[in-house]
Amino acid sequence: MTISKNIIKNYLVKNVVYKLNNRIVEIQVNQNNLLVSFHKVAKQFDIENKLMDRKGYENNSICYSLTVEDINSCDYATKIIENIYNFFTTPQESLSDKLFNTLKFRISTLSTSISNHTTNKGLMFKGKRNFVLLSKTNYGVYVRLLNVTNSNNELDVVTRKSYEPLCLSYKVKSNDDIDTLFPYIKESYNICNINPIDLKYEFYKIYQI
């Protein structure tokens, strides 16, 4: 409550809710700890990666939680709450915009021959053929790639058939995710520059023998 007098506190049956126009924090008092749940914008401020998905609330606005058991975790939770408050009260570039612009810049620097164009699904990047599609989400960027080496299973398989052969995907939620993904983006670009075999022509040659 010392962060701002504009924060409203409501007591519910099992917890206390703090809100501006939207709920930003819920606190549940347990016997040995506090369960602090945060608005989904909190993840971008979780520099120590301590926030956990709030089970059963993945599609709600309050969807991350932290168990507060000591003064250190209490200070960490307070810092995140301050950042959430500043996020909603200070106009700023959204997380998805920041990640999207960073990805766009880094992909464009791979080669001067890379072009991009906007589709109904997002921003498509092309070398000799399409190799990356970026789509903004509420709190991140959804990336589709060609069939690169995925031995560590860090990429997901795209279930929808649109924009094949961009058949692997990755959800970017932080700058660390960009660093993890970028080697795959480079490999996807290298693949796109290999001229595909014209199977029709090759089969024609075979049957002419």
HSE-up (13 A, CA, CB side) for residue 67? 5
Q: Are 139 and 44 in contact (CB under 8 A)?
A: yes
Same domain, 27 and 110: no
Residue with tokens 């570039």: 93
CATH number of the structural domain spanning residue 83: 3.30.1360
Q: Are 131 and 125 in contact (CB under 8 A)?
A: yes
Report the alpha-carbon distance of residue 136 to residue 102 in Å, rounded.
Answer: 12
Same domain, 66 and 35: yes
Q: Which domain holds residue 137?
A: 95-192
Same domain, 42 and 122: no
Return the ∠ at Cα 142 (arms to 140 and 146), rounded to 5°. Answer: 150
Report the alpha-carbon distance of residue 157 to residue 147 in Å, rounded.
Answer: 9
pLDDT of residue 199: 46
Per residue of the chain (209 residues), what is the pLDDT tens digit? 778 888 888 888 778 887 887 788 999 988 889 999 999 889 889 989 999 998 888 778 899 999 999 999 999 999 999 999 988 888 666 788 889 999 999 999 999 999 999 998 899 999 988 999 999 987 789 999 998 998 888 998 887 655 568 889 999 988 899 999 999 999 999 998 876 555 445 555 555 55
Question: Into how many domains does the chain fold?
Answer: 2
| Residue 38 lies inside a defined structural domain of this protein | yes
Encoded amino acid at 103, one letter: L
pLDDT of residue 152: 85
Same domain, 120 and 184: yes
| Residue 206 lies inside a defined structural domain of this protein | no
Report the alpha-carbon distance of residue 121 to residue 118 in Å, rounded.
Answer: 8
Question: pTM of the predicted model, to two decimals?
Answer: 0.54
